[in-house]
Amino acid sequence: MRKYRLFILIAAAVLSALAAYGVFTAPRVEPSDSDRFSAERVAADIKVISQKPHSVIHPVERAEVRDYLYNRLVDLTDSSVVLYPYENAVEYEGTPIDITNILAQVDPVIDDPDHPNPTYLMLIAHYDSRYPQKVLDQTVLSYGAADDGYGCGVALESLSQALRYRGEWRQGIKILFTDSEEWKLAGINSALEHNPEIFDNVGLVINLESRGNKGPVLLFETGKNNSKTLALYKKAKAPYTYTFTTVVYEFMPNFTDFTPLKDSYPGLNFSNLDDINHYHTDLDNYDNISLHTIQHYGAQLEPIIEEYLTNHEYRDPNALVSDRSSIALTIPALGFFSFSKGGYLLVNSIILALFCLIFSFAVISGRIRPLKVLVASAKILLWALTALIIGELIAWVISMIVGAKFSIMGVVRGVQFDEWVMIGTAAATALIVTICFLWGRKRSADRISSTAIRKSASTSGATKYSYNLLFGAMLLMLLLSAVLLLTIGENFFFALPLGLAAASLFLWRITTWRGWLLPAIVVILLHAFSFLYVVITALTMGALGVLPLFIVIYLALLLPLADIYTRKEKNI
């Protein structure tokens, strides 16, 4: 039976990893002759947009991209497309720069007597590429294939798809391509200052960005009081978001065209995050684009856009305005989960109650000793902090070797093999933690069996070790969850594993079926693989230590849970 359960567990872990990284869950790339959103058609636009660098210091090349986008919009809409030029809008190294935004507006077909003035969905992307910057010992220029060729191409394809059902539109679309976003957000700021009418009756803003060239597309930021906006986001296929990233983004020195709009308009800000070494460099070119990433933009946007354009509820431009914020996350293969602040607090209260219940039962039944659990919790925290320090030291040493500028918990660029460093660090951490767990379990078993008469004493020692470690990890997660909930209002990355483990143990005890532990392990793995990918790609090598820190804490929970699940004894 133990081998049977062990085989199931290994298979479940492998399938969870594959599902989390999109092998089964990523949308299929649609060819150019498809009648659905096609990444290949988007790529055709990107090929033209990214032929040359077209930054703030390239007026001729920017004009070529602008003319191409203008003509594409005219061909699509067969209606008025307006250029908004701004002379001397900004200075770059003492030189005045002229910029030009592009606006296309397509009105709805269906009238609403209660709201005679139509509401609009606004898609925003910028068409300039990054100005020169130094990476290691070279000054490089981006071709803007991903940043923001992805955004421009996706906006064009999204409009093209929406026009297929224009007869059902109750709301309209505005497409705003901004100039010189990369340099002081000049385009969007000029529009807000000189032509605020552009934003009249805009009920929803969707900003399309790219940081890197590949990976899944993350809804990484929303406007304030986002409960209704996230309710709309539920329509997305292959959703991928953590509202925690909005909290983190507030503290980072990054800005997008959505930044000056997010306090005034309901909105969704999308971007892929992988790979930082392609971001704002000459590697951001057509040869390195990812059709899978582009298709993921479409998978999320298509149903949102259709719902917004065709549902009469959104005829009111304030339909998505709310006075409440929600907390949301996605779990691969399971989908999107959203909670009101009150609902989230209730969930945390239930998790606390479950933990207290199973902790008390384990103490009463003699499976754990509170002092040993407390010691185990302290050890896990110490191991995790040690892993954090070692991870940062590894990143620092590698950065020094390759000549990259190291920034602790900051963005590190120029380490071209950073993915392998991250994978190697994760694998090494997991291997070390597993070996330490097996050694600790064996030592506990040997210590008890050496002084006992019963043959089962060895098994009892191993089981008690797993229980103490498991409850030590749960106690640590509980404390960390409480601190995070009180400080930043989000703690799902600890509360979710804690809640699943507590619930599975509770169900096992009241039903006597140990199988409840398996789905808890699987869901924890789905969450961990997905969340840790976002963390490390967003924070990059500068935060390499965060990866082993989380792995230590997660495995301190998962390994004893898996051990208990695979034990051959009926009563443990």
Per-residue pLDDT 10s for the chain (572 aa) are: 566 888 888 898 899 988 888 877 889 999 999 999 999 999 999 999 999 999 999 999 999 999 999 999 999 987 789 999 999 999 998 899 999 999 999 999 998 887 888 999 999 999 999 999 887 778 889 999 999 899 999 999 999 999 999 999 999 999 999 999 999 999 999 999 999 999 999 999 999 999 999 999 999 999 889 999 999 999 999 999 998 887 776 656 678 999 999 999 999 999 999 888 889 899 999 999 999 999 999 999 999 999 999 999 999 999 999 999 999 999 999 999 999 999 999 999 999 999 999 999 999 988 889 999 999 999 999 999 999 999 999 999 998 888 888 878 777 777 888 889 899 999 999 999 999 999 988 888 777 665 554 544 445 778 889 999 999 999 999 999 999 999 988 999 999 999 999 999 999 999 989 899 999 999 999 999 999 999 888 888 888 999 999 999 999 999 999 999 988 766 66
pTM reported for the whole predicted model: 0.92
Question: Using CA atoms, how far apart are residues 474 and 312, in angstroms rounded to an integer?
Answer: 47
Report pLDDT for 449: 62
Task: Measure the CA–CA gap between 217 and 223, rounded to whole angstroms.
Answer: 18
**What pLDDT, on the 0 to 100 scale, is given for residue 433?**
96
Query: How many other C-beta atoms lie within 10 A of the C-beta of residue 27?
Result: 20
Check: CB of residue 123 under 8 Å from CB of residue 159: yes
Residue with tokens 């059709």: 291
For 58, the 3-state DSSP assignment is coil
Residue 293, pLDDT score: 96
Region of residue 328 (phi > 0: left; psi between -120 and 50: alpha; otherwise: beta): beta
- The rounded distance, in Å, linking the Cα atoms of 297 and 236 is 10
Taking the C-alpha atoms of residue 60 and residue 39, their distance in angstroms, rounded to an integer, is 28
In 3-state terms, what secondary structure has residue 159? helix
Helix (H, G, I), strand (E, B) or coil at 435: helix
Instruction: Give the Cα separation of 396 and 387 in Å (integer).
Output: 14
Instruction: Specify the amino acid at residue 110.
Output: I
SS3 at position 305: helix
Q: What is the structure's pLDDT at 405?
A: 84
**Confidence at residue 445, expressed as pLDDT on a 0 to 100 scale:** 75
The pLDDT value recorded for residue 230 is 96
* Nearest to 15, CA basis, from 429, 296, 333, 420: 333
Three-state helix/strand/coil letters over 93-115: CCEEEEEEEEEEEECCCCCCCCC
Domains (range + CATH), the chain? 2-20+347-566 (no CATH), 39-331 (3.40.630.10)
User: What is the model's pLDDT at position 457?
Assistant: 47
Q: C-alpha 121: how far from its chain's center?
A: 23
